[in-house]
């Protein structure tokens, strides 16, 4: 069994992976030695290798534990060898989660052109080519950030959340904001998909992140939505480095 750890700003996702498939996921707000010790006891020696990606500082005791309790521990950085050719002009500024998602997309759709959309705090839209290249893409605010921006940078607009169903045209201030953000992002995504389809043949589309399924159901295109894209990519990076 491999373990892929994706440590983000607000929480850490831990994926247990067997034969390339995620069999269980856990989340914790604080990754420490005690949490890992409890997990290792439950898994009873079945862990083979571990890969970790983090946008926050990782306690030294965590890395010491992972180094001493596995046959192979990999901390992914900008210098880590990748199974994709990274064409980003500034690889040291590229978020590891974006690159791992791209690797995950190439794992799911090998030898295909893929549009990778991560719908979280930020919305990122990236291209992976059938030649195994990460071209890069665009970054903008996600839904929550747009709602918060309208509230914080205006005097009177309230803070609202995503509706289950948005109106075509807002009938009061709250619904106008909800429809404006949700429909605006939907139209934005439709534009990206249309442009990518013009440039890349037989395009596959993957949505990931917390809002992936919310927006995927609002689009008519065939979209594969998964919350496991980053950890699948991390596992592919782990296996690639273990065999090369």
- Residue 144 within a domain: yes
- Residue 4 within a domain: yes
Report residue 86's pLDDT band, with 50, 70 and 90 as the boundaries.
very high
153 with 121, same domain: the answer is yes
Instruction: Considering the candidates 97, 118, 211, 228, report the single residue annotated as catalytic.
Output: 97
| Number of separate domains in the chain | 2
For range 81-94, the mean pLDDT: 95
97 with 203, same domain: the answer is yes
Residue 56 has a pLDDT of 83
Q: Which of 22-26, 56-60, 207-211 has the lowest mean pLDDT?
A: 56-60
15 with 112, same domain: the answer is no
Of residues 3 and 8, more confidently modeled: 3
- Say if residue 55's pLDDT is above 90: no
62 with 95, same domain: the answer is no
- Say if residue 153's pLDDT is above 90: yes
139 with 215, same domain: the answer is yes
Question: How much is the mean pLDDT over the chain?
Answer: 95
Beta-bridge mates of residue 204? 114
For range 24-45, the mean pLDDT: 92
DSSP-assigned letters across all residues of the chain: -EEEEEE-SS-EEEEEEETTEEEEEEEESS--HHHHHHHHHHHTT---EEEEEESS---HHHHHHHHHSSSEEEE--TTS--SSEE--S-GGGS-HHHHHHHHHHHHHSTTS-EEEEEESSEEEEEEE-TTSEEEEEEEEE-HHHHHHHHHHTSSSPPP----SS--SS-SSHHHHHHHHHHHHHHHHHHHHHHHHHHHSTT-EEEEESTTHHHHHTT-SS--EE-S-HHHHHHHHHHHHHHH-
Q: How far apart are the first and last CA of the chain?
A: 19
115 with 216, same domain: the answer is yes
- Say if residue 10's pLDDT is above 80: no
69 with 118, same domain: the answer is no
Residue 45 has a pLDDT of 82
What range defines the domain where residue 48 resides?
Answer: 1-75
Residue 84 has a pLDDT of 96
- Say if residue 12's pLDDT is above 80: yes
Q: What is the pTM of this model?
A: 0.92
Report residue 83's pLDDT band, with 50, 70 and 90 as the boundaries.
very high
CATH number at residue 102: 3.30.420.40
- Say if residue 229's pLDDT is above 80: yes
Residue 44 has a pLDDT of 86
Residue 9 has a pLDDT of 74
- Residue 44 within a domain: yes
pLDDT tens readout for residues 200-228: 999 999 999 999 999 999 999 999 999 99
Active site residue 202: no
- Residue 239 within a domain: no
Residue 104 has a pLDDT of 97
Report residue 90's pLDDT band, with 50, 70 and 90 as the boundaries.
very high
Residue 30 has a pLDDT of 86
102 with 184, same domain: the answer is yes
């Amino acid at each position: 069994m491999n373990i892929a750890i994706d440590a983000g700003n607000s929480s850490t996702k831990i994926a247990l992976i067997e034969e390339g498939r995620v069999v269980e996921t856990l989340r914790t707000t604080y990754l420490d030695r005690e949490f890992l010790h409890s997990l290792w006891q439950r898994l009873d020696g079945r862990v083979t290798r571990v890969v970790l990606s983090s946008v926050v500082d990782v306690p030294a005791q965590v890395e010491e534990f992972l180094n001493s309790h596995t046959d192979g521990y990999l901390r992914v950085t900008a210098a880590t060898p990748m199974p994709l050719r990274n064409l980003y002009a500034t690889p040291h500024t590229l978020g590891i989660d974006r690159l791992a998602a791209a690797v995950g997309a190439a794992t799911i759709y090998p030898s295909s052109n893929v549009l990778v959309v991560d719908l979280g705090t930020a919305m990122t839209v990236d291209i992976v080519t059938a030649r195994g290249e990460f071209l890069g893409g665009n970054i903008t605010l996600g839904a929550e950030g747009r709602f918060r921006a309208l509230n914080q940078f205006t005097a009177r607009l309230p803070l609202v959340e995503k509706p289950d169903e948005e109106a075509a045209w807002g009938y009061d201030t709250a619904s106008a904001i909800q429809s404006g953000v949700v429909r605006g992002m939907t139209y934005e995504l439709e534009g990206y998909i249309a442009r990518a389809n013009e440039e890349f043949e037989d395009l596959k589309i993957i949505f990931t992140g917390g809002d992936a399924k919310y927006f995927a159901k609002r689009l008519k295109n065939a979209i594969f939505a998964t919350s496991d894209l980053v950890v699948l990519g991390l596992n592919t990076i782990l296996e690639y480095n273990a065999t090369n």
